[in-house]
Amino acid sequence: MKLLEPQIEHFWECFRADAGVVEKKDSEPAPKHSLINAHMMLAGFAIENLCKGYLAGRLSWEEKEDVKSGGKLPQTWRTHEILELVLSTGLEVTDIEKDLLKRIGDAIWRGRYPGPTSHKEIEPFAQWGCDVPRIRTVLQKLRAHVGAKDS
């Protein structure tokens, strides 16, 4: 994920320069591919693993027995909804972070499946700007909340 961050930041700098928002800093050409969705998908996998690892340490005795005896996972684990998983850890998130987590969840879904099961689920995939700093902040906040080391 960290390897993609400079390229994504450069993409957004070029985008903002082309839109006339800022003056172009260097003569390096704009990247042909943004890699934004790949970065968001990897961030989502990291968030999902942090949440499920934290939740594994908080299983009740009955839930642990269900996992050991029959491989039955708790209901809270049967989702890839990033926002739901983060909220299930008890972490408080702002509205801006909720929007980011929903978009990260969309990126994970788009990376796993070729298309929705219904035309009603087709919607644009909004990109508001460079999410790299916001993703870093959410990951640091989540790591601190669940007691995970920085990677």
* Domain coordinates in residue numbering, the chain: 5-146
Say yes or no to pLDDT of 35 above 90: no
The confidence band for 37, taking pLDDT boundaries of 50, 70 and 90, is: confident
Interatomic CA distance for residues 35 and 1, integer angstroms: 10
**C-alpha distances in angstroms, 37 versus 61, 71, 77, 85?**
39, 33, 24, 20
Mapping DSSP to helix (H, G, I), strand (E, B) and coil, where does residue 111 land?
Answer: helix
Interatomic CA distance for residues 44 and 46, integer angstroms: 5
Check: pTM over 0.85? Answer yes or no. no
**pLDDT single digits (tens) 57-106:** 888 888 888 888 888 777 777 777 899 999 999 999 999 999 999 999 98
- For the chain, first and last CA: distance in Å? 11
Interatomic CA distance for residues 58 and 35, integer angstroms: 35
CA–centroid distance for 147 within its chain? 19
